[in-house]
Amino acid sequence: MNFWEYVSTRHQQLLTDAFQHVSAVFQCMVLATVLGVVIAVLSYRSSWGGSLAITSTAMILTIPSLAAIGLLIPLVGLGVPPTVIILTLYGLLPVVRNAIVGLRGVDPSLVDAAKGIGMSRTARLCKVELPLAWPPILTGIRVSTQMLMGIAAIAAYASGPGLGNEIFRGLASLGSANAINQVLAGTLGIVVLALLFDAAYVLLGRLTIPRGIRV
């Protein structure tokens, strides 16, 4: 059976896996973005808080994902819970870092001007600072998503959802005729999905980055 025959006979299974992969990554990414921006907003004003947030999230990223999954299994069991926790935690770092850098990079005179025309602290944050910091935050989200696509594949080992299962099925049946098809389908599927995600972010950037600061 060649690769194309394999894909056409198994497309149901593959599509389900692909959908679960995307949906897991997407949902965790939304969660990580919200958490990351909140952490950044709370900490970017103090140099101490900001560096604490960056150092601690960087440390999480240093930990190999398989080891982190291993540490979570005794606590939350197998399956979806460790996958969601891992993906969200690892997705945080680039968002937190870029959001802090972005928020700190906002020209203070603009914030002053906003204050001068009577905007409240919340309005300044939502209408001036966050829109200006949005491009670097979006870059952080892109970097995170790329990384999460690969980590989600590893999480399949802890019975997580997604295309990683295809890869591990292939590894488990090394030598069988379908091993290479399964691994290829899983790997290429993830590559294609990652590239699609990236294209979607470019589009999202065109739609959401204020026209005034678009480059």
Partner 1 sequence: MTPSHQAPPKGARPPGEHDVGGHAFRDEEAEPSPPSPGPPRRITWKKLVLVPAVLTVVLVATYLWITHVELDSIARNSLAGDIVEVRWWQHVRLTAISTFWVLIIAIPLGIALTRPGLKKAAPGVTVIANIGQATPAIGLLALLVIWLGIGPSTAIIGMVIYAVLPVLSNTVAGLNSIEPTLVEASRGIGMSAMGTLTKVELPLAVPLILAGVRTALVLNVGTATLATFGGGGGLGDLITSGIQTQRMPVLILGSVLTVVLALLVDWLASLVELWLTPRGLEEA
- Of 118 and 175, nearer to partner 1 (C-beta) is 175
Cβ neighbours of residue 98 under 8 Å, at least 6 residues apart?
136, 137, 139, 140, 143
As a whole number of angstroms, the distance between CA 16 and CA 188 comes to 15
Give residues 133-192 in contact with partner 1 (rule: CB under 8 A): 146, 149-150, 153-154, 157-158, 164, 167-168, 170-171, 174, 179-180, 183-184, 186-187, 190-191
| Secondary-structure percent of the chain, ordered helix, strand, coil, rounded to 5 | 85, 0, 15
Using the rule CB under 8 A, which residue among 15, 34, 59, 126 binds partner 1?
59
Non-local CB neighbours of 144 within 8 Å, separated by 6+ positions? 29, 32, 90, 91, 92, 93, 94, 95
Pick the closer one to partner 1 by CB: 19 or 157: 157
Q: How far apart are the first and last CA of the chain?
A: 49
Considering only residues 53, 68, 99, 100, which one is a binding residue for partner 1 as defined by CB under 8 A?
Answer: 68
Radius of gyration of the chain (CA): 20
**DSSP-derived secondary structure letter, 107:** -
When asked if residue 52 is in the footprint of partner 1 (CB under 8 A), the reply is: no
Contact region with partner 1 (CB under 8 A), list: 37-45, 58-66, 109-117, 206-214? 58-66
Q: Which helix (H) or strand (E) holds 162?
A: none
- 22: contact with partner 1 by CB under 8 A: no
- Report the 10 Å Cβ neighbour count for 180: 15
Rounded CA gap, 62 and 58, in Å?
Answer: 6
**Comparison of 125 and 180: residue with beta carbon closer to partner 1:** 180
Among residues 90 and 130, whose Cβ is nearest to partner 1?
90
Rounded to the nearest whole angstrom, what is the least distance from the CB of residue 165 to partner 1 in the complex? 11
The whole-angstrom separation of Cα 89 and Cα 10 is 33
Q: Is 93 in the site for partner 1 (CB under 8 A)?
A: no
Q: How many residues bind partner 1 (CB under 8 A)?
A: 37
Residue 207 sits in the site that holds partner 1 (CB under 8 A): no
User: In the complex, which residues of this chain contact partner 1 (CB under 8 A)?
Assistant: 59, 62-68, 70-71, 73-74, 78, 146, 149-150, 153-154, 157-158, 164, 167-168, 170-171, 174, 179-180, 183-184, 186-187, 190-191, 194-195, 198
